[in-house]
Structure 1
Amino acid sequence: MKKLGMLTIFLISPLFLSACWDSYELEERANILGLAVDLGDMNEIDEIPKVTHIEGETPASVEDTIYKVTAQIAVPGKIKLGPEGGTGEGSEKTAWVLETYGHTMKDALANMQQQLAEKLYLGHLQIIVVSEDIAKQGIIDISDYLRRDIEVRRTAWMIISEGDAHSILKVAPPIETVPALYLAETLNNAVRFGKLPEEYLGKFWINLSDIGVDAILPIVKPINNDRIFVSGLSYFKEEKMAGTMLPLEIGAYLAMIGEAKGGYSFMVSLDDAVYILNSQKRSSVIQVDLQNGTPTAAIDIHIDSELDEEINDGRLDEKKIKEIEKEANAFLEKDVLLNLIKRLQDDQSDILGIGARIRAEYSDYWKREVKTTEQWKKIYKEMNIKVNIHTQIRRTGMEWD
């Protein structure tokens, strides 16, 4: 019996010692760096490949849905490292762009896998581009597939494109060999410079799931096929895109949520003179309250800025500085912040998370009066939201009268 036990252990032990039995070498993987999703048009194709279903057996709920999925796949051994890497013209040699169609995301990628010898791998996915048309219809189907895939990193970017999403993946910058890496780095640097919120894919999913908060995503468009322009933020009502905000409004949104790093400049006119102020540091406090059973909110914002430019003004003293600050406060409050908040309320998009704050601080009210997300949207649309902003000029440059 002792010998039989030892023999059994000897035979079973290799099962626990065999590491990486299902591993793939880098050359055996089709590493997808970027994905673009557009609405497909049957006039562009003869038929959708049938890999996950058979003829005449497409479920009715997805039969009319056609996704055009574009993938940017890294070519192993062709991506150069170091400063000599960026040529722009060589991006087609370092990244392979494939297109396919499907009724769902998985259906489309299964059709794409059928065209490749290597296994599709999403572990290095940097960016997902979704067309504006899809975002307005609802992004939940695409989001659901990516969320269930264990290979997809939560630090990837999802962005909305003005126009066709696949055109974003075909941007060929002259300073980077792989377009998808350039796009991701553009967005990462925008966060670092205080121009975008840190709204990665994982944060987007959190906001979609959270009660009393709506999600946002950057919106971009290509320029001359060699760079992108971050044209604003798209804000959502649940899983559907409800509207967009301009770059200056992004700065206003970042100020309201208290994003410390300032990154936007704004123009102020005073007595035929023009001044451009650059925000350096931002802070805010959002307070919610119940007044006679009705929720209200107050947002206090403080912005430290510097005077970057003045036109048509030969003097600058302490009195003038105070006048510029006053005019800046009036411009930002009336023309930017209040207009943005009204638009968000009209579109029932609570990207500031006011509902989550009320739910946390006044849970009895939420359970008694609100109960559902739909009811909160109605209350949010009509509630009173006040804004108070204080801009202070800390620096005026080398020149001073």
Structure 2
Amino acid sequence: MKKARIIPFLLSIILLTGCWDNVELANTGFVISIAVDKYEKEQKEIKDSDSQSDASQEKEESNLEDRENKPEKEKDEEEKEDEDEEEKDHNEEDEKDEEKSTGKPRFTLTMEMPSDEIMINGASSKGEKIIKSVSASTTGRAMEMVNAYSSKEAYYGHTKIIIMGEALLKDKDLFSEAMDSLEQNREISQKVIILSSRGKGSEILTAEVTEETMAGFFMSDFYKKNNESIAYRQSLSSLVMDMENNNAFIIPEIEVTSDSLKTGGAAVMKDKELIAWLSDKELEAYLFVKAMGAGAVIETEYEGIFVPIETEKTKSKISFKDEGNLICTVDISVNANTGEYKFIGIDMKDNEVREEIERKTEEKIKKDIEDFIIKLNKEYKADVLEFTDKLKKKDYDLYLKYSDDWEKTFEHMEAHINVDLNLKESGTAK
């Protein structure tokens, strides 16, 4: 009897419950990738502006000839006009603020979303992806506006990657504003991967590649692989931390090859703007110093044969001393294997052969790191390896001595690199 009374009560509770915070799949556009670019006018407008510029130059040359033949009073009046023009140039920052306040486009955001076919059959299916592009005065406004161009509401909870275009990275103010907006956006995960692109970020998302349907899924799967290839991962939260604590940092690069997407190299950022690009080899040197070199494959030449050395684990220890100028010593240890038992004419079980290959590989890693640090010191003048932070933690007195003019200190700092490679015998258990 009691059970009969309880059952209707329980059923009524079930009917009252609901999924008030659920995401309706049929009405939702899942944004997997976002490309953030600096807004650029249409090519036609650029051409018109160039033509006007050429005409203005001809007019200026003509006016210069007339000025030489005019009385002093007229010259003074024209000089005053020139001063007014100079004052106009000084108001560029005010114009930027005006563009923001009047809603003129400053950013272009390109969104990559899966089609219904991809949603049903998975990321590996060959369904057409959906691309939406919106230009607005702020990134937040662009993300809101994308709903006006789609029958589905954009959802950013599953966004995998955000790609920054080259022009945006070169504009300190726009890059800083975009990062601030993304960091404060509660719809986007702080773990989202940040990438850089030579050219427009949108070109990565719109590229036709045969191997991967969507860039976001490709990069997400790529970073999940273990020891398949060397790579540097920069999340939104770690990039924000780098911007707050370091004057210089890097953002990994993504590019389109003939038939696929590829990551390798990185953008070098200093004072929150792009100053250079790292090559694949330079990024590899960076990762060895940061003790993240596991997965690198180094081809070492021995008697005319290139032996692939696969790194499994790397360690790095950094120390400093003062000898009239700052000396930095980087000790790197590497565990590696050859991946095969025997090469043509090379017996990898011969101790002398193995020791010689180890020595050659150590020298190769050492030289690549030395060349990379010299480029950082002399050419880029960018401490992306965070030596100043290491110095502060390891020897605070030495840090106080050199930190006042760290850029000059860093430029003249000597780096001594030591590499100890342990090559496992082929076929032995890891």
What TM-score does the superposition give when structure 1 sets the normalisation length? 0.77
Q: 1:314 to 1:96 in 2, by over 3 A?
A: closer
Q: 1:46 to 1:245 in 2, by over 3 A?
A: closer
Q: 1:282 to 1:209 in 2, by over 3 A?
A: same
CA distance in structure 2 between the aligned counterparts of 1:376 and 1:119, rounded to whole angstroms: 49
Aligned twin of 1:69: 109
Instruction: State which drifts further: 134-143 or 151-160.
Output: 134-143
Q: Does 1:222 align with 2:256?
A: yes
Extract unaligned runs of 5+ from structure 1: 1-16, 48-56
Q: 1:240 to 1:65 in 2, by over 3 A?
A: farther
CA distance in structure 1 between the aligned counterparts of 2:109 and 2:210, rounded to whole angstroms: 25
Aligned counterpart for 2:267 among listed residues 234, 247, 266: 234
For these two proteins, the number of residue pairs brought into alignment is 358
Q: 1:365 to 1:280 in 2, by over 3 A?
A: closer
- Listed as ranges, the matches of 1:2-401 within 5 Å are 25-44=24-43, 59-60=97-98, 66-75=106-115, 79-81=119-121, 86-88=124-126, 90=127, 92=128, 95-116=129-150, 118-138=152-172, 139-171=175-207, 178-189=214-225, 193=228, 195-211=230-246, 214-224=248-258, 226-259=259-292, 262-292=294-324, 294-308=325-339, 313-316=345-348, 317-334=350-367, 336-346=368-378, 347-364=380-397, 366=399, 369-371=402-404, 375-397=405-427
Q: Work out whether residues 280 and 306 of structure 1, in 8 Å CA contact, stay in contact via their aligned partners in 2.
A: yes
Cα distance, 1:268 vs structure 2: 1.9
Q: 1:68 to 1:349 in 2, by over 3 A?
A: same
Cα distance, 1:61 vs structure 2: 6.2
Q: 1:380 to 1:169 in 2, by over 3 A?
A: same
Cα distance, 1:396 vs structure 2: 3.4
* C-alpha distance after superposition, 1:130-181 (max 9, x if no partner): 1223223333222111011112111111111233311221356667665422
Q: 1:256 to 1:42 in 2, by over 3 A?
A: same
Q: Work out whether residues 215 and 235 of structure 1, in 8 Å CA contact, stay in contact via their aligned partners in 2.
A: yes
CA distance in structure 2 between the aligned counterparts of 1:248 and 1:279, rounded to whole angstroms: 15
Q: Work out whether residues 31 and 124 of structure 1, in 8 Å CA contact, stay in contact via their aligned partners in 2.
A: yes
Extract unaligned runs of 5+ from structure 2: 1-15, 47-94
Cα distance, 1:361 vs structure 2: 3.3
What TM-score does the superposition give when structure 2 sets the normalisation length? 0.72
CA distance in structure 2 between the aligned counterparts of 1:245 and 1:59, rounded to whole angstroms: 33
Q: Work out whether residues 305 and 395 of structure 1, in 8 Å CA contact, stay in contact via their aligned partners in 2.
A: no
CA distance in structure 2 between the aligned counterparts of 1:365 and 1:274, rounded to whole angstroms: 44
CA distance in structure 1 between the aligned counterparts of 2:273 and 2:347, rounded to whole angstroms: 51
CA distance in structure 2 between the aligned counterparts of 1:206 and 1:397, rounded to whole angstroms: 43
3-state SS in 2 of match to 1:207 = helix
Q: Work out whether residues 330 and 416 of structure 2, in 8 Å CA contact, stay in contact via their aligned partners in 1.
A: yes
Q: Work out whether residues 172 and 179 of structure 1, in 8 Å CA contact, stay in contact via their aligned partners in 2.
A: no
Q: 1:20 to 1:290 in 2, by over 3 A?
A: farther
- Structure having the higher strand fraction is 1
The structure with the larger Rg is 2
Cα distance, 1:341 vs structure 2: 1.0
Q: 1:222 to 1:146 in 2, by over 3 A?
A: same
Q: 1:177 to 1:273 in 2, by over 3 A?
A: closer
Cα distance, 1:183 vs structure 2: 2.8
3-state SS in 2 of match to 1:86 = coil
Structure 1 vs Structure 2 CA RMSD:
3.4
Alignment-mate amino acid for residue 204 of structure 1: L
Cα distance, 1:203 vs structure 2: 1.3
Q: Work out whether residues 32 and 121 of structure 1, in 8 Å CA contact, stay in contact via their aligned partners in 2.
A: yes
Q: 1:368 to 1:319 in 2, by over 3 A?
A: closer
Alignment-mate amino acid for residue 394 of structure 1: K
Alignment-mate amino acid for residue 414 of structure 2: N
